[in-house]
Amino acid sequence: MKKKLLEQIIKKKENKDEFAIITNIANGESCIFEKNKSIDKNFEKYLSEISNHFNKKKNGIIENTDIFIETYVRPIKVIIVGAVHIAQYLVDYAKSLNFEISIIDPRGYFATEQRFPDLKIINKWPEEAFKELETNENSALIALTHDPKIDDPALQHALKNKFYYIGALGSKKTHENRCQRLKDAGFSEAEIYSIHGPIGIKLGGKSAPEIALSIIAQLVEVTYKK
């Protein structure tokens, strides 16, 4: 691999860009592939197959060719609202996954570096906290506080910005009340229905680590469907 190409790859990794390294294993030629950008002319005839692999986040050799694809996808931003006990287990589960976790909680006695080391913690109300975060349709929200003053503004932000995953902790009754408040705030039934509530896959667990596992399992499931 040429030095210039290697330097470009290192820079893109540092910037957390989404790209793929395309290599012809027969002759060693390589190039960088990025969505909606031109590709090296030596790989143009494989563009459709390369795009398909990239969109599916797949690594491997294109069938019946010598072309190897290694994809690098941007970590998915997951915003946890509520620095509760369950959140600590969620962070532990997420460490080995492609998630970039941030914690929002205006209650400073919950959201501390001691409880959540090496994480972005924002001790502000959601309306202010989201000004410090770049979010889009590739972001995910997990609301855990049960407090409408904290959860509702976060859920509204996620709905307005079309987060691909939105989940909220609470009983069926709690969620019914939450949905009514969102309806009163002007959100459509389709938007409200997109919220996973009560959050998590039904595993039957009751403890904090079991609930966290059900949430992270649902998040992974939805991530691979988007």
Sheet holding 165-168, edge to edge: 120-122, 99-104, 76-81, 140-143, 165-168
Q: Which residues 6+ apart lie within 8 Å of 122 measured at CB?
A: 102, 103, 104, 105, 111, 129, 132, 133
Question: Which pLDDT tens digit goes with each residue over 111-169?
Answer: 888 899 989 999 999 999 999 998 988 899 999 999 999 999 999 999 999 999 999 99
CATH 3.40.50.720-classified regions of the chain = 76-223
Pairing of strands 30-33, 19-24: antiparallel
Cβ-proximal residues to 15 (8 Å cutoff; 6+ apart), any chain? none
* pLDDT (0 to 100) of residue 91: 93
- As a whole number of angstroms, the distance between CA 15 and CA 209 comes to 33
pLDDT for the residue numbered 221: 93
The beta strand positions in 105-173, using DSSP E, are 120-122, 140-143, 165-168
Q: Residue 69: which pLDDT band, with cuts at 50, 70 and 90?
A: very high
Residue-level pLDDT at 1:
65
> For residue 91, what are its two tokens?
């962070």
Q: Which residue type does 192 have?
A: I
222, pLDDT greater than 70: yes
Residue 157 token pair:
């932000």
Amino acid present at 206? K
Which is higher by pLDDT, 3 or 86?
86
In the prediction, which pLDDT does 5 show? 85
pLDDT in tens, 76-115: 899 999 999 999 999 999 888 889 999 999 998 888 888 9
> What CATH number has the domain spanning 76-223?
3.40.50.720
pLDDT at 187: 96
